Structure 1
Amino acid sequence: MMNMDVELDGLFRQNGTYNYDDDYEYVEDTESRPSEAVFIPVLYCVELVIGLLGNGLLLAVLAQKRRSWSISDTFILHLSVADILLLATLPFWAAQATKQCLWCFSGFLCKICGAVFYINFYCGIFLLVCISLDRYLSIVHATQLYSHKKPRLAHISCLSVWLVSLILTIPHWIFLVARKDVVPQCVHSYTQSVTDWKLGSRLLHHTLGFLLPAVALIICCSCILLQLKRSSEGLQKQRAIMVILPLVVVFFLCWMPYNITLIVDTFRNSSKEPDIELSGNPQRSLKINALMVTSGLGCMHACLRPLLYLCLCGNFRKRTLAMLKRTTVESESSLWELGVGEEAPPDQNHEEEEAKPMTSVDHQVPSSQC
């Protein structure tokens, strides 16, 4: 019996010193390591290189064209600046994903990077709404929102977009904190006393930041396509929608997975206790790190937009090649073919109708006057 007691005591002591929590954490870290430590940093690095090259080339072309500035150039410039700001924060998110950077985030730097993430999203979708609304009014209602005669309205619209974007990011400036418990993390911290802020900031993003602008874009693009299908519009109007529509589609393809995941996470956590959680940056909030992966995909639009301009805008492509070859281009036509603030040429049908009375009058005029 004494031997039995000794054996049992030794067995219980061995179990008492075994740390199950450490074993569980080790398995979890091993499963999440490929996406966090390899895939996300590589994705951010690729986006950073391609995005900086593309947007840098775009700004260089705009700088050459500064003497003949157009309304479209103004909107493209603001979109590019917003993308460059987002690209500048990608190295920090990539370093955080590796979980090896203990110095990456201070409190203020965490707030800046988190706010820029959302500012880029808001600026992107609101500027696309402004462009689509101008094309909708021009093609469907034959009126223009922006004009070369009054370029101030375009600048006011762009500045208003930046202001609204800054206002919508106020909750992130307040609740984003840098935590350095086990690994450095930049997360939102909600306490029991401010539980409503968590749901309120999410609803603000889902409604004003995503759903309402998305509905406006869908309505404008749908009405433009229907109008072009029913009538033969000018070539410039058709080119404009062929450029705007891919920009809108690519924007939604990049950001839709993240917003859907964020909506699901909002409903799942709405009835739970307040905690430290993710809202808009690469962290672990949902299973298999869905928010972290989809936020990385959302940032991809910052490097895809210049590639779309090269593929869709022939004038921009010609001027880019001329700049690389160090030659000059004398064409003053629009680089982007968006048609924003530009009067489209009259349709062919209208030209034919105007030509008929002119020809009838010509027949009545004596030949000596020709």
Structure 2
Amino acid sequence: MGNTGNNSSVPTDLLVACFHDDDAFKYRAYTITYMLLFPVAIVSNITALAVFFLLGSRRISASCVVMMNLALSDGCFSLTLPLRLAYYFRDGVWDFPDWLCRLCVFGFYLNLYTSILFLTLLSVLRWLAVNHPLHHRALVTPLRTLLVCLGVWLFAGASSVTFLSNGVTIRKGFPRCFEPSSPSSWGRVLILNYVALALGFLLPFLTIIVCYSRIVLRLATRFDGGPLGGVRRRTGQRSLRLVAAVTATFLLCFLPYHVIRTLHLHAVCGEWDCGVTVALQRAVVVTLCLAASNSVVNPLLYYYSTRTFRNHMRDAHSSLQRRGSTRPHPALSSRRNTLTERKALD
């Protein structure tokens, strides 16, 4: 894994050509992944947004506000997948305007880091609810949470705006997208990678670890202190489900991509051996597919960690059944009353 002898941080055209010779693997992997992700992502996130909007302002909680923004981010990203699919079906030929290429690049990173930050915010809210319930009731409101979410959008958007400069390039006589404009731009990408790694991944990940460690300790203390009441036990179970779901999302979708991307950029800028660089590029492709899959993983988080969301989906299903049947659903009104009484726990 040694350097070729050139101490420059700018990769040579020969090295860049080395990993472009492996484009077939990248195009095939992305095509299969996006074909699987697009229908699931678009349907699940539109459904999630519809459910959140149907909750109404009176029943929506702070956590639901965060999840709504997360679903919006994933839904917007899923709308760019058909353009990416068309590009990879054409073996890397971009037939669309330059601004669409820039928007797709920007959209991926905006979705990646808004997802990370919204999951972090969700973790902080759960930590407050479990460890500091009085402060949670006094400070956390849907409106304040919405303002924080707007701040996340602005921060992630401003941090990702540099990717709007990466548009269509010409390689081997064809217009290409999703590629650095020149070999010299890889050094700039490496610097941006470390900024994103520190602020967009490591800091949120450490925040989540701290929050969830305190949540688990708090819940363990409650269990050790004697039998829990029904409401407290259910709240603890939901918190533990959220801990497991968000941690798994970070470990599966975000951690591998950031680690491998950093190694690959060092391989390119440091002019490592061609075989090693190509192997790392393949690893980047696989981990980027995992990162993109967070758009279909997040709806599972809404369903399994939030009772309000789960019950409202059941109510919607029951309403559809009632429209096709003259018999009323006896549990519908009871469940709606329960939702109103327990919304603060979600």
Q: TM class, shorter-chain normalised?
A: 0.7 to 0.9
**What are the within-5 Å matches in structure 2 for residues 43-62 of structure 1?**
43-62=33-52
Q: CA deviation at 1:200?
A: 2.4
Match of 1:247 in 2: 245
The structure with more helix, counted as a fraction of residues: 2
1:168 aligns with 2:159: yes
The number of residues matched between the two structures is 302
Match of 1:260 in 2: 259
**What are the within-5 Å matches in structure 2 for residues 223-238 of structure 1?**
223-232=214-223, 234-238=232-236
Match of 1:75 in 2: 66
Match of 1:294 in 2: 287
Write the deviation string for residues 12-63 of structure 1: whole angstroms up to 9, x where unpaired.
xxxxxxxxxxxxx9xx86x753x44444212211111111111122122223
Match of 1:121 in 2: 112
Task: Name the SS for the 1:231 alignment partner.
Answer: helix
1:304 aligns with 2:297: yes
Of the three residues 69, 77, 100, the one matched with 1:109 is 100
Task: Name the SS for the 1:187 alignment partner.
Answer: coil
Cα 1:168–1:180 change in 2 (3 A) is: same
Letter in 2 for 1:56: I
143-152 or 160-169, which deviates more:
143-152
**Aligned partners of 1:134 and 1:146 also within 8 Å:** no
Letter in 2 for 1:72: S
1-side partners of 2:35 and 2:150: how far apart? 30
Of the three residues 44, 65, 85, the one matched with 2:76 is 85
Letter in 1 for 2:292: C
- Structure 1 or 2, whichever has the larger Rg, is 1
TM-score, normalized by length of structure 1?
A: 0.71
Q: CA deviation at 1:258?
A: 1.2
**Aligned partners of 2:114 and 2:153 also within 8 Å:** yes
**Aligned partners of 2:29 and 2:285 also within 8 Å:** no
Task: Name the SS for the 1:72 alignment partner.
Answer: helix
Of the three residues 147, 155, 160, the one matched with 2:146 is 155
1:317 aligns with 2:310: yes
Q: CA deviation at 1:314?
A: 4.8
2-side partners of 1:248 and 1:117: how far apart? 20
Q: Percent identity of the aligned residues? A: 22
Q: Which has the higher contact order (CA 8 A, sep 6+)?
A: 2
Q: CA deviation at 1:287?
A: 4.5
**Aligned partners of 1:261 and 1:290 also within 8 Å:** yes
Cα 1:107–1:151 change in 2 (3 A) is: same
Cα 1:138–1:309 change in 2 (3 A) is: closer
Match of 1:185 in 2: 177
2-side partners of 1:44 and 1:195: how far apart? 26
* 5+ long unaligned stretches in structure 1: 1-24, 274-283, 345-370
CA root-mean-square deviation: 3.3
